Chains A and B, each alone.
Chain A
Amino acid sequence: MDYHSPASFAEASALAANATGITRFLAGGTDVLVQLRSELVTPDTLIDIKKIDGVRDINCNANGSWTLGVAATGAEMSEHPDLGRDWPGVVEAMDLIGSTQVQGRATLTGNLCNGSPAADSVPAMVAAGVTVTVTGPDGDREVAVEDIPIGPGKTSLVQGELISAVHIPARGDNGGDAYLRFIPRTEMDIAVVGVGVNLRLDGDTVTEARVSLGAVAPTVLLVEDCAKSIIGSTLDDAALDTLAAAASAACNPIDDKRGTIAFRTEVAGVLAKRAAKIAYARAKGEQA
């Protein structure tokens, strides 16, 4: 196994482009090292990107948007004084992952690139409209988060490509987001269902919305029908019921050790309603 710690993303990309066999990028390592230890994946090339300048930065840009380095950890996001005020759903979703120790290492980018449909931060990022910069042999491109995963454990990144930054849009006025997941316990578990909701209000009426589902299909889903069911409403019971039905209808889950098809389909609707209510309250400036 070859270990590299490049000084730039261009160098990291070149190393990956020229590597043979299995290549893994190492930031927090909370997936890569676990897979290595349990012999699920034994990389031939391990490229440590933690030592690239700026990878742990969390910056608020002049227009109110945010740029996060790829090695910024969950703990650093939770402790940031302003990020959680703008995007509580994204920060809470990240914070649900693993233990206190894992939070000190885990990253949004790692969670995304692991390709799990049950990744907690991904539905929250999709709902928030987060994009990432992808650096490759041909330079940089910006890609929506929902376009990164293409199946369980698979991403749209090609050989030599890696994510080099995370961009969260400006929160703007009268907006709120929320992420809820179902687990049978109270912590330290993998989502059986996850729902991210991000919306904006004009008065009491929803004018923009993005709703995303996790762990109910081969990839995290951005569900247009869910958004449509609440845009134009005041999130009244009828709108919530339509939202729940749309969320359940979008599910294409599997039966496995973590949950059944029937359960995931039903609970996706339940959580969509609950998350929408929280996002709505946040958009109105209420505590939720």
Chain B
Amino acid sequence: MALDDRKTQFTFVGTRPDRPDGLDKVTGRAKFGADISAPGMLHGAILRSPHAHARIVKIDTSKAEAHKDVKAVVTRADFAELPFQPGLEGEFWNVLENVMAGEKALYDGHAVAAVAATSALAARDALKLIEVEYEVLPHVTDVDKAMAPDAPVIREGAADYSVPEGMHPNIVRYHESGHGDVEAGFAEADLVIEDSFVTEATHQGYIEPHACLGMLGNDGKGELWCTTQGHWIAQKTCAALLGIETSQLRVTASEIGGGFGGKTTVFIEPVALALSRKANRPVKIVMTRSEVFRATGPTSSASMDIKIGMKKDGTISAAQGVFRLQGGAFPGAPGDMTAMCAFAPYNLTNVSQIGYDVMANRPKQAAYRAPGAPMGAFAVESVIDELCKKLGLDPVDVRLKNAAHEGTKASYGPTYERIGLVETLEAAKAHPHYSAPLKPGQGRGISCGFWFNHGGETSVSLALSEDGSAQLMVGTPDIGGSRASMALMAAEVLGIPYENIRVTIADTATLGYNDVSHGSRVTYASGLATIKAAKHAVEKLCERAAASWGIPADAVKWENGCAIPSGPNAGDFDPRPLADITAHMGQTGGPISGHFEATPEGAGVSFGTHIVDAEVDPETGKTAITRYTVIQDAGKAIHPTYVEGQYQGGAAQGIGWALNEEYVYGDDGRLQNSIFLDYRIPVASDLPMIDTVIVEVPNPGHPFGVRGVGETGIVPPLAAIANAVSHAAGVRMKQLPMSPPRILAALKDNG
């Protein structure tokens, strides 16, 4: 949806005002998921399977129901019956099966029943009164083992049309793409390296656990307050799972304490509503951290084989990858995304990629920033690094030589429009970090990364007030400072100060449909919608001014917050500021608002390049990240501080993923580390200052040139850190996380 009146000079865009939600958040006034209560409210709690895989023979809830403080108990029978369909076609069924187990418990932590009681303590005690008889079944948690012929079958019939015949039933989706002739390409290469890589599942690690308050009456009318990245998808999904009409459920998104993709679906929300319907009282559910780890979306674990051929001059002659992703006991592991993104930074003549979506006895994977892409980049960029090392080539030069640019046929099919990969590589080469000397024991790594970005269904409404201020309603929960960005873009179009615009995340009853805040789409799509809605209001403002002057509307233009005649021929009238027009709007035709409803489709793909220095203690295998620079194309940075925040956040999460974060399963299939003590995200003192460079190669699909920035920042870190660590340690690390025991073992094996 390219606009022909693209703006290149800005008044407000590109400045760094305080975020409108900042004061509320630093003073504790902001209301997050758990910060709401209602009269007569009950507390819900969920009973979870202690088994990785078990048939549920019987659930006896009678003792819990007899508890004096218990007002409702629900099991799967209290939800709608939905059709089972293969792959992602039956996603509502998949979500329901995850929200409340049916015939089988499919992973450690899978919900099997829930209670609502008059206190949180009573609810917890009542769970102990529910008797569940399990028939424990063989389980599998590892992706390669889950594909093996003798692996226990998670669910027959879950594979969709894409899976070739003869594969194990745990393989539920299959992707194959590429172009050229890789065998011919390998034959042309001076050096071919083939290697295998493994990554463990990690959690998004948002600080705020899932929390909600649900009210659902016997009349099928409901209210839901929840922490979510998308309240319309919560509305649609909850309505389906409870068998009520979508429009009868009003959903309000709370302030959100982090999501990173993990809050794009529902877990406890349908349960709270089902309990509420049964008890006829509001029900609040707040997950514990352990529940968050055991039962909400980690990312996929992955096992990958890469083969790349390179000529002596650094030209990649062929590239091939097989990516096996495990996404828990449900279809959805993004093996297709991994495959499509893995080689996307490069202009390749011969490329071939295969992706598998594999089920295992683990929680249902959820999106986590650029889902699937970081693992693929880790494998591919490690092999490229090794090729550079063996051929004595500079890793930035080699990437520049092969870099995709405008007109390149992407590895996943389409032809790129204007993109900024080359600019990020040139900025990396010119950055003082890249040429800074390293101390003994240190190594430097670089990596490129790619993400598609997304547009998505978007509605925005903007209403002007009599005093000339504006209220803007958007439907994408603010997960990265987007209210500030929206206000800046609206200020730019209206020509009124940033502070005079109040941005609200509207609930599902007050605005049209909006897709989730995902796919790095908010600043792009809600931003585009905001600009269009503001322009829509400006058209009306110009019409009012034209009418007051008695000239045609097209003889009036909008400049610096005022209606003015479009030229000398239009007449000689004093400019009419916005507040002057709105002061009289009641008498001149009524309220002035602007709207936009559409699905913007010019999101513009995104690239980044990261430079990392790591130091490895050879006696303990412990890694310190000593310097980190993120370089990424933002198209146009609306609020540069929050763009930098996204870059730094991606690097910080990447450092955790690369070094210490992992799901640790015991032989019994139970998660061993479901608390932050043992699930080791980086603490502040683990991180260096993360430097950022914002490259701006405008996206032709956005009026101000915006490209989403939220996800690409987590694509390069795994590979860049692995390359740095491998150079520092003198041994190639092929498994994540590169925890001290793994590095020390690799050093020992290397002699």
Query: What residues of chain A have their CB less than 8 Å away from a CB belonging to chain B?
Result: 38-39, 182, 184-190, 192, 256-260, 262-263, 266-267, 270
Contacts and interface: CB of A to CB of B under 8 A. Distances in A.
A77 B290 CA distance: 33
B741 A260 contact: yes
What DSSP secondary structure best describes chain B's contact surface?
loop
Contacts of A182: 620, 622, 740
Nearest to B656: A185
B744 interface: yes
A186 B685 contact: yes
Interface in B338-354: none
Contacts of B621: 263
What DSSP secondary structure best describes chain A's contact surface?
loop
Contact of A263 (B124, B677, B685, B740): B740
Interface in B668-695: 672-673, 675, 677-678, 680, 682-683, 685-686
Interface string B270-308: 000000000000000000101000000000000000000
A259 B680 CA distance: 13
A270 B619 contact: yes
Interface string B611-643: 000000001111000000000000000000000
Interface string B533-544: 000000000000
Interface in B644-684: 659-660, 664, 672-673, 675, 677-678, 680, 682-683
Contacts of B673: 257
Nearest to A266: B744
Contacts of A190: 677-678
Given A267-B620, A270-B619, A185 B660 contact: yes
A116 to B, nearest CB: 12
Given A259-B741, A266-B744, A184 B664 contact: no
B620 A270 contact: yes
B680 A184 contact: yes
B660 A257 contact: no
Nearest to B659: A184
Given A38-B290, A182-B620, A266-B744, A189 B677 contact: yes
Contacts, number: 56
B683 A257 contact: no
A258 B677 CA distance: 10
Contacts of A256: 672
Given A38-B290, A184-B659, A184-B680, 9 more contacts: A184-B622, A184-B740, A185-B685, A186-B683, A187-B683, A257-B664, A263-B621, A263-B740, A267-B619
B438 interface: no
Contacts of B739: 184
B745 interface: yes
19 contacts: A38-B675, A184-B622, A184-B660, A185-B680, A185-B683, A185-B686, A186-B685, A187-B685, A188-B683, A189-B677, A189-B680, A190-B678, A256-B672, A260-B741, A260-B745, A262-B741, A263-B745, A267-B740, A270-B619
A64 B638 CA distance: 65
Nearest to A264: B741
B281 to A, nearest CB: 25
Contact of A257 (B620, B622, B672, B682): B672
A142 B739 CA distance: 42
Contacts of B682: 185
B686 A263 contact: no
A262 B683 CA distance: 26
Contacts of B124: 39
Nearest to B660: A184
A266 B745 CA distance: 10
A259 B659 CA distance: 14
CB-based closest 8 A-B pairs: A263-B741, A186-B685, A257-B672, A257-B664, A270-B619, A260-B741, A257-B673, A184-B660
A40 B126 CA distance: 17
A169 B349 CA distance: 75
A192 B739 CA distance: 12
A258 B740 CA distance: 10
A188 B676 CA distance: 10
A184 B625 CA distance: 12
B513 to A, nearest CB: 41
Contacts of A189: 677, 680
A185 B622 CA distance: 8
A182 B677 CA distance: 15
Contacts of A185: 660, 680, 682-683, 685-686
Contacts of A260: 741, 745
A1 to B, nearest CB: 11
